[in-house]
Amino acid sequence: MAEMSPSVELGGKMAENGFMGKYKAFRKHRIPHEFSYSERLVHFLLMIAETKPYIEENLAKPLALQLLRQAKIRAITFSNQIEGNPLGEGKVTKALENQTSREDENQFVRDVLNYGDALDYAVQLAKAKRPLTTKDLCDIQKLITSGVLQAEHVGVIRKIPVSIGDASTGVQLDSCPDPEHLPALLEDLWQWVEDHHDANAFARAFAFHYLFVAIHPFADGNGRTVRIMQHLLLLKSGETIAQFVPSESAIMQTRAQYYSTIRQCKILGTLNPFLEYLAECFALAAENVVYERKTLLLQSADRKPEARREKIISLGQQRKALTIQDVLVILPDIPRRTLERDLEALVRDGKLKAKGEKKARVYYIS
């Protein structure tokens, strides 16, 4: 196990051709199942590692629940949008808050509620001290597609031919193995997961993502199922950062690249293009979470009277005089009446002097 600063674990076997003779079904269907720790892949794994201490340090903070909810809403929104669901974050939030009966809602809202159930299930499943199985795949797909697909396609391995297609355009991108080959391919998939248990957790989860897509075990719901499975594999590997990083947002913004890297893997016979792409998506999403976390902390600080009043005093020291309008500019998220009380308190404490009528009052440093 190699170590790289700041903290990236690279399982040596994964990068080597150490499993010759295995994965006969993968080889028969020309499904790439090896990769190397390229400079580009390691670069993005390092970016992820650099965000982990900051994000994990704040897991127990008061804003953690807010960040978790925000990450869940975004994961649901963008994972469904990748599949053509038009609902944005606002409507997804409303659907989750209302929790109305699925029978009374349209398919887009059912997609939202179903995906939320599947995410919650994955979080619980991650705590189980056992290997994942095909039944787990079926259970997650069942939660995602319940009430949306015909019953014979829900929670079962497909019995019909399918292809990989871009949901936004309807363009077929590649054919998938016929149903009779799925048992052997899924056996190879779980063997591959077991064989590479000591690999870098992110590389392993991203590689699983590609292998699952290449197999396409379900009649529908494969994309949403594999994105939850990627999330689940990371959580089972102890990567709690995954709870806070909705990388689906980056995938949605670069959807064409998602499909192009799938094609590149098949042509080049390596998982690297897809792994590097997903690692970049996760790294960028993680950096965005860090930025938003810092912004939330600043906003939270502004809501403490002491912090607000320090800002007001600082502004007064920079100017000869200030008004309520000046204070509203530096604290735009705080209600006007709250800031007026802050100014009155600073006058009572002798830190400011006031002159003029209340509506046009001017304040000076004492």
DSSP string, 34-60: -----HHHHHHHHHHHHHHHHHHHTTT
Tokens of 80: 């469904």
Instruction: Name the pLDDT band for 88 (thresholds 50, 70, 90).
Output: very high
Tokens of 87: 């609902």
Instruction: Name the pLDDT band for 14 (thresholds 50, 70, 90).
Output: very low
Alpha-carbon distance of 242 to 232, in angstroms, equals 9
DSSP secondary structure of 317-360: HHSS-B-HHHHHHH-TTS-HHHHHHHHHHHHHTTSEEEES-GGG
Query: Is 50 exceeded by the pLDDT of residue 269?
Result: yes
Q: Could you tell me which residues come within 8 angstroms of residue 47 by beta carbon, excluding any fewer than 6 positions away?
A: 283, 286, 287
Alpha-carbon distance of 189 to 193, in angstroms, equals 6
Q: Are 320 and 363 in contact (CB under 8 A)?
A: no
Q: Of 39-53, 117-131, 287-301, which gets the smallest average pLDDT?
A: 287-301
Question: pLDDT at position 17, please?
Answer: 52
Q: Shortest CA distance to 187 belongs to which of 17, 28, 25?
A: 25
Query: Is 50 exceeded by the pLDDT of residue 100?
Result: yes
Q: Is 85 helix (H, G, I), strand (E, B) or coil?
A: coil
Please determine, looking at this structure, whether the domain spanning 2-298 carries the CATH number 1.10.274.10.
Answer: no
Look up tokens 């994972």; give the residue.
79
Q: What is the mean pLDDT of residues 268-286?
A: 96
Question: pLDDT at position 118, please?
Answer: 96
Tell me the average pLDDT of the chain.
Answer: 88
Highest mean pLDDT: which of 167-176, 177-186, 324-333, 357-366?
Answer: 177-186
Question: pLDDT at position 2, please?
Answer: 38
Query: Is 50 exceeded by the pLDDT of residue 206?
Result: yes
Question: pLDDT at position 270, please?
Answer: 97
Strand partners, 163: 175
Q: What is the mean pLDDT of residues 188-201?
A: 96
Question: pLDDT at position 163, please?
Answer: 86
Tokens of 52: 């982990």
Q: Shortest CA distance to 289 belongs to which of 30, 67, 74, 13?
A: 67
Task: Tell me the percentage of the chain whose pLDDT exceeds 70.
Answer: 87
Highest mean pLDDT: which of 86-95, 103-112, 266-275?
Answer: 266-275
Higher pLDDT, 64 or 253: 253
Query: Is 50 exceeded by the pLDDT of residue 87?
Result: yes
Task: Tell me the percentage of the chain whose pLDDT exceeds 90.
Answer: 62
pLDDT digits (tens, 9 = 90+) for 217-234: 999 999 999 999 999 999
Query: Is 80 exceeded by the pLDDT of residue 245?
Result: yes
Query: Is 80 exceeded by the pLDDT of residue 307?
Result: yes
Phi and psi torsions of 338, nearest 5°: -65, -45
E strands, the chain, in order? 2-4, 8-10, 163-165, 172-175, 352-355, 362-365
Look up tokens 């978790």; give the residue.
68
What are the start and end residues of each CATH 1.10.3290.10 domain in the chain? 2-298
Q: Is 296 helix (H, G, I), strand (E, B) or coil?
A: helix
What are the start and end residues of each CATH 1.10.10.10 domain in the chain? 305-365
Instruction: Name the pLDDT band for 101 (thresholds 50, 70, 90).
Output: low
Query: Is 60 exceeded by the pLDDT of residue 127?
Result: yes
Question: pLDDT at position 13, please?
Answer: 46
Look up tokens 């990388």; give the residue.
247
DSSP secondary structure of 145-168: HTTTS-GGGSSS---S--EEE-TT
Alpha-carbon distance of 332 to 169, in angstroms, equals 42
Q: Are 42 and 203 in contact (CB under 8 A)?
A: no
Question: pLDDT at position 298, please?
Answer: 65
The topology (CATH level 3) of 305-365 is Arc Repressor Mutant, subunit A (1.10.10)
Q: Shortest CA distance to 173 belongs to which of 45, 264, 297?
A: 264
Q: What is the mean pLDDT of residues 251-280?
A: 95
Higher pLDDT, 31 or 169: 31
Query: Is 70 exceeded by the pLDDT of residue 314?
Result: yes
